[in-house]
Amino acid sequence: MLSIEKVFKHYPIKTGAFRTETVHAVDGVSLTVRRGETLGLVGESGCGKSTLGRVALRLEEPTSGSIRFREIELNRLSGREMRRLRPKLQMVFQDPLGSLNPRMKVAQTVAEPLLLHGLAVGGKVRAQVRELFDRVGLSDELLDRYPHELSGGQQQRVGIARALAPNPEVMVLDEPTSALDVSVQAKLINLLRRLKQDLDLTQVFISHDLSVIGYLTDRVAVMYLGEIVELGPTEEIFLKPRHPYTGALMSAVPGDDLLDRRTRLMLPGEVPSPITPPPACRLAPRCPFVKDRCRQEKQVLQAVDSNHQVACWRAAEGEISPEDFERSRLALEV
């Protein structure tokens, strides 16, 4: 349904009066999203996952690379051609209040895509907005309120209703639950799961919350410093992570036994700057399994199972395994 091939997104920034450097936000990512699936995109803040989501829908232009929706190459379309295709590709943003026009009533916000794309006219617009409100669990009493008069959960539901209005085939959801409390998160997650089943949506769900990713997604792509380091079925990624970074992420999730801090797999040091990322394996400066080859050779995704890929030569060649992550937990103490 959606295919991303060798996509780069770099931002030039001024670091002095006469000096410009480059932020490597997304660096050579290739990814395919299958029809009807929910792909989770996970990683810590600043890894490039939100940028990748916006670039995938051409809300931002890639520096280079190819983006395809079905067989259509999006980055070759003119502005007018892209507008015709836009109803099929929608996004739900992280900040629900910031993504809504404060001068428009929420009914107007949801009606706007219907009017822009000629999907409803006259009295049918209001009726269709009511149907969308009902679908996302909002009362008709809220139709004529302004965004600031709604709770965070209600604001996010308005954002989801607006994205659903033009009947999309692909939705990218950029951390839609991060600004909400736990009880509201649970309701929104169940709503998203139901919408996927009812509407046969293809979704890309971006989050740093592994519990949400584990519940909602079919496959997971793990990002670190602008690159995909592991890709595979959700259950397999959670139970048998193959990349050391993924192993550290999974180790950080509290379980029923609340792992002793002293026995977690932890990565030393800080994430390198995206302005000057490591030239070979980007995890090499922090990885407990690092070898000389890791510091010299660029890592690419390699198959470790039929549907499971990892950007680590030691994992691909069987030199390290999930069992090694368990043993290495004793290496560092907090």
60 and 42 in a common domain: yes
Instruction: Quote the strand ranges of 192-307, DSSP E.
Output: 202-207, 219-224, 227-233, 302-305
Residues 151 and 180 in one domain: no
Residue 233 maps to a domain: no
Q: What's the pLDDT score for residue 58? A: 93
Higher-confidence residue: 59 or 257?
A: 59
pLDDT band at 254 (very low <50, low <70, confident <90, very high): low
Query: 22: alpha, beta or left, given left = phi > 0 and alpha = psi -120 to 50?
Result: beta
Q: Which two structure tokens, joined as six digits, stand for 126?
A: 């209001």
Domain residue limits at 284: 241-334
String of DSSP letters for 5-34: EEEEEEEEEEEETTEEEEEEEEEEEEEEE-
The model carries a pTM of: 0.88
What does pLDDT average to over the chain? 87
Residues 111 and 3 occupy one common structural domain: no
- Is 316 in the same domain as 251? yes
In a domain, 297, yes or no: yes
Same domain, 319 and 274: yes
The reply to whether 225 falls in a domain is no
pLDDT top residue among 108 and 251: 108
142 and 19, same structural domain? no
Read off the pLDDT of each residue in 254-268 and give the average, rounded to a whole number: 58
Task: Return the pLDDT at 10.
Answer: 95
**98 in any annotated domain:** no
Provide mean pLDDT across the span 32-59.
Answer: 92
Within this chain, do residues 182 and 145 fall inside the same structural domain, yes or no?
A: no
CATH number at residue 35: 3.40.50.300
**Which segment of 9-13, 43-47, 77-81, 326-330 scores lowest on mean pLDDT?**
326-330
Sign of CA dihedral 34, 40, 43, 47: positive
Residue 312 sits in the same domain as residue 191: no
> Is residue 87, in this structure, part of any structural domain at all?
no
Report yes or no on 83 lying in a domain. Answer: no
Tell whether 158 and 245 lie within a shared domain: no
Residues 114, 97: Cα–Cα separation, whole Å: 21
Q: Domain end: 153, 182, 217, which one?
A: 217
Q: Are residues 195 and 326 in the same domain?
A: no
Q: Please, which pLDDT band fits residue 182 given cuts at 50, 70 and 90?
A: confident
Q: What is the pLDDT of residues 157-168, one digit of tens each?
A: 999 999 999 999
- What average pLDDT does the segment 52-80 reach? 93
For range 76-84, the mean pLDDT: 91
Helices within the chain (DSSP H only): 49-56, 79-85, 106-116, 123-135, 152-164, 182-199, 210-216, 234-239, 244-251, 292-296, 313-316, 322-328
Asked whether residue 200 is domain-assigned, the answer is yes
Domain co-membership, 34 together with 158: no
For the segment 191-217, the average pLDDT, to the nearest whole number, is 89
Compute the distance between CA of residue 187 and CA of residue 136 in angstroms, rounded to an integer: 10
What CA–CA distance (Å, rounded) separates 99 from 122? 26
Per the structure, the count of domains in the chain is 3
In a domain, 304, yes or no: yes
The proportion of the chain whose per-residue pLDDT surpasses 70, expressed as a percent, equals: 93
- Token pair for residue 10? 């770099």
